[in-house]
Chains A and B, each alone.
Chain A
Amino acid sequence: MARYILRRLITLIPTLIGVTFVIFMFQRLIPGDPAIAMLGEHASEENVARIREQLGLNRPLFLDREALRNGDFAGFFDTQYIRYLDRLVHFDLGNSIHRRIPVAETLALRFPATVELALLAMLIALSIGIPVGIISSARRNTPVDGITMVGSLIGVSMPIFWLGLMEIMLFSVFLKWLPTGARLSTGIVIEPITNLLLVDSVLTGNWAGFKDALQHIIMPAVALATIPMAIIARMTRSSMLDVLQEDYIRTAHAKGLVEQVVLLRHALKNAFLPVITIIGIQTGSLLAGAVLTETIFAWPGIGKWVYDAILGRDYPIVQGGTLLIALIFVGFNLLVDISYAYLDPRIKYD
């Protein structure tokens, strides 16, 4: 097992190097000069040159062959990409160009908002998707099964930004039950501990704050939960159907066990592996930020932040945010692989 994990970690290295390379190249490829983005259109040539010098933009991209020609080995590696990697190793993500504050600081503030939304959405998706999948597999080819499966197909086909808008239309505009954006109403204060507002308000016993935070998060969470919910329901169903054909299920029935016991203790346990894979991958992509949902509900998470930075050419934010997102994504895929190998003894590690 340890060897398997080690091997997976080693195969990760080229991927991670590739990821940093792509992120670095992306910044260089999109049109526009960071120095001009910093100083504005009307900056003087000297100032632009000074900033370019400061940011190291006057250095070659990857390797300095001119320095090498003169026997300068340190200069050979003193390039933009190597400097970028060096800063990364020191957890220095740079400052936002427009707002002049460290990217890491904003990241620490914004990421909890995304985590809270993603976890609640996953919770909703699991608590509905799995039971629906089980019921629909137990009642295979009945109207119940048909309705839930068509329902889940509609869920998979849902443009979630539209679903979010429809929620706003119904619950905010017509019924006026729920607020349309942000994480909290103005005037409500929750003492920050984890920066997950729902958790913090419970920890501090701030029930008014909890209610307000819940009212704000529920619509985006439901919108975000729709697609994972549908996927999990379909996966649970098809995985259960496979297992329910096994001999030991017939044996369990023959022993006279109650249907629920057969379904939950015998079938679900074995059917759960592929579902776990899906859950892991979906959680990873939810944590990676949901730019559409965050845009519609003005949710201050990382998806919207990175998107705005791409449009505003705020390169340090784009680099830092994208790197975090890619790391989460890769990390969750790794976690899924390892847990799969751990949970299923039939899988050979090497």
Chain B
Amino acid sequence: MTEIAAKTPQDLKVADLTMREHRSLWGDAWRRLISSNTARIGLVIISVFILTTTLSHFFWDYNPKTDLDYSLKLKAPNLTPTAEVESIHPFGTDKLGRDIFRRVIHGGWNSLRVGLVSVGISLIAGGLLGLLAGFYESMALASSERIIVLSIAGLLLGALPAWIANQFFIALLFAILGGVAGWVENFQAHKPLRYILFALAGGLCGALPALLVSPSTALVTGILGLGIGLFLAMAVRGSIISNVIMRVMDITLAFPSYLLAIAIVAFLGPGLEKGMIAIGVVGIPQFARLVRSSVLSVAQKEYILASQSVGEGHGRIIFRHIVPNILSPVIVQTTMGLANAILSAAALGFLGLGAIPPEPEWGAMLGDSYRFLTSGAWWAVLFPGLAIMLSVLGFNLLGDGLRDALDPKMRV
């Protein structure tokens, strides 16, 4: 204090400026992150796993197809050569005499890869769906967007009468009708009149072409067309996009995730890549919900209103103003999602629906060996499981730290 007081006012000014170095928002968050113990431990665990698995994948050859030695079947861990087992197996060997240490290291490559790819799928698909749902729930459609949305709605809904009458162009008629409905909305026509007009037009679009097929078909498609026309005349708010997306997400969420993943794998067939897709698809609704609610919470902010009033386009508002402001919860969810994905991948592998043997994967290794537990081969179960738990814990610790670092107010 006395030191500063001794300086001239001019010196003080300069000193002040140099003392306050530039600190970005993310830089601050990083500083908070590495100052917390949990995040540091998490980062260390994750780094160790990523480094060992990638390095060994590229620099330590392993061929699972040729790796078996029945003379070394189910040997307990040894750190020094013994009379019985001359080679060193720090984690013991499994039912085919394979070194478990080596398979845990190489299996990590598969497990982490599954985690990364499947979270990528959930993040991209769920994120986009959530953005759309959240944005158009809180904001009116621009007129060009309304025309496009209603055309697509017309096309999709019109597909049903088109299929029934076996005449493809009926769907196109409804797409045009939808486009017109979106365009006419600007003229604020008398409401009941508009409804009646569109219902009639829809009925005609459905019935007339179907008359070529048979009268009974025309009756059904005509009634359907009536309903579609009415719907197109009414559905002009952006919330239909959000409603459709979120209802589909609700249906997906009605099934427990494990069941859905198993079902998807049963449909696609087993294999690591199929497992990635299954886990990724199952994770989509969580991201969509999170992103939607985050978008809803920022969409009413003044800066969004401001950018709207200066006439910025919707795409620009979404990617320049909304996305940067909802990144924190998404980053946290992605980290936690990685932990979950690794866990699910291991579960699928354990059930024999993940990696195809003899490919090493932690869950599959457990599934391979757990029957030998009763005969005392604890090492074949302990180490792959520890690897799963530690890597999942690492991502959870990091996610926890990230949450505190990115938004000190946010807690779960």
Contact = CB atoms under 8 A, between A and B. Distances in A.
B412 A291 contact: no
Nearest to B257: A285
Given A153-B400, A173-B373, A65 B166 contact: yes
Nearest to A64: B164
Given A165-B381, A242-B411, A15 B254 contact: yes
A303 B258 CA distance: 10
**Residue from the set A180, A238, A307, A325 with the largest chain B CB neighbour count within 10 Å:** A307
Nearest to B353: A311
Interface stretch (B26-34, B200-208, B261-269): B261-269
Given A162-B385, A162-B389, A165-B370, A310 B263 contact: yes
A187 interface: no
A18 B351 contact: no
Interface stretch (A22-30, A121-129, A203-211, A260-268): A22-30
Given A15-B247, A166-B385, A69 B396 contact: no
B310 interface: no
Interface size range on B against A: 35 or more
A295 B352 CA distance: 12
A158 B382 contact: no
Interface in B357-412: 363, 366, 370, 373-374, 376, 378, 381-382, 384-385, 388-389, 392-393, 396-397, 400, 411-412
B143 interface: no
B216 A73 contact: yes
A178 interface: no
Contacts of B412: 234-235, 238
B397 A285 contact: no
Nearest to A153: B396
Interface stretch (B10-18, B64-72, B342-350): B342-350
Contacts of B411: 238, 241-242
Contact of B370 (A31, A63, A73, A296): A296
B250 interface: yes
A19 B350 CA distance: 27
A8 B363 CA distance: 40
- Give the interface SS of chain A, mostly helix, strand, loop or mixed: helix
Given A238-B412, A307-B262, A162 B388 contact: yes
Given A69-B216, A76-B220, A307-B262, A157 B254 contact: no
Given A15-B247, A154-B393, A169 B373 contact: yes
Contacts of A158: 389
A307 B351 contact: yes
Contacts of B392: 157, 159
Contact of B385 (A73, A165, A235, A289): A165
B164 A329 contact: no
A63 B385 contact: no
B351 A165 contact: no
A165 B373 contact: yes
Contact of A322 (B164, B165, B259, B347): B259
Contacts of A330: 254
A289 B253 CA distance: 15
Interface string A299-339: 00001001100110000000000100110011001000000
A190 interface: no
Interface of B: 38, 163-166, 213-217, 220, 247-248, 250-251, 253-256, 258-259, 262-263, 266-267, 269, 339, 343, 346-347, 350-351, 363, 366, 370, 373-374, 376, 378, 381-382, 384-385, 388-389, 392-393, 396-397, 400, 411-412
13 contacts: A18-B251, A18-B254, A150-B38, A156-B396, A159-B385, A161-B350, A242-B411, A292-B258, A292-B347, A310-B266, A325-B259, A326-B255, A329-B256
